[in-house]
Amino acid sequence: MNQFDKKSLPYRALKNHWRLFQKDSRKLSLNSFYSQTFRQTLVPHEIIEKTLGLSEELTDYYSLYQLLLFHFQEKRVDEFFELIQENLNVVNHYFQTVFRTFLRHKQYIKNALETDYSNAKLEATNKLIKDIKRLGFGFRNFINF
């Protein structure tokens, strides 16, 4: 993003629509909305296509990210780590840092994907209790709690 001029279309598209690139491409909305960046009504898929058309490198990384996200959500551990191994030396240093972290914690990620155990409900209950206590006693933030 830093390689583009701040007033250029690619920079503004990435700056304004960065959330669309982090979403799963299969779950993007089909509702159209007016984009100030492109000055027309577009569907999120069209925004991504137009922005990816501006940079080939961004297109490659976006497809890699979507493929990793797919394997992770479908709990395909072998394909997930195989894809990381194949692309470890090809991608830029930001991706390499993330990939090395994934490989360092491979056993933990594998266990999390293979088992159905989760403490999400317990954590949600604890957060609800803390929120009720905070609001009930007038604390404005958790720093004072």
At 10-31, the pLDDT tens digits run: 788 888 888 888 888 888 888 8
SS3 label, residue 24: coil
**Domain extents in the chain:** 9-114, 119-145
Low-confidence ranges of the chain (pLDDT < 70): 1-2, 137-145
- Dihedral angle, C-alpha 19, 22, 27, 28, nearest 10 °: 40
pTM of the model: 0.76
The predicted pLDDT at position 57 comes to 87
Q: What is the pLDDT of residue 43?
A: 87
Place of tokens 């296509």: 49
Please count the helices (runs of H) and the strands (runs of E) in the chain.
8, 2
Q: Whole-angstrom Cα distance, residue 129 to residue 124?
A: 9
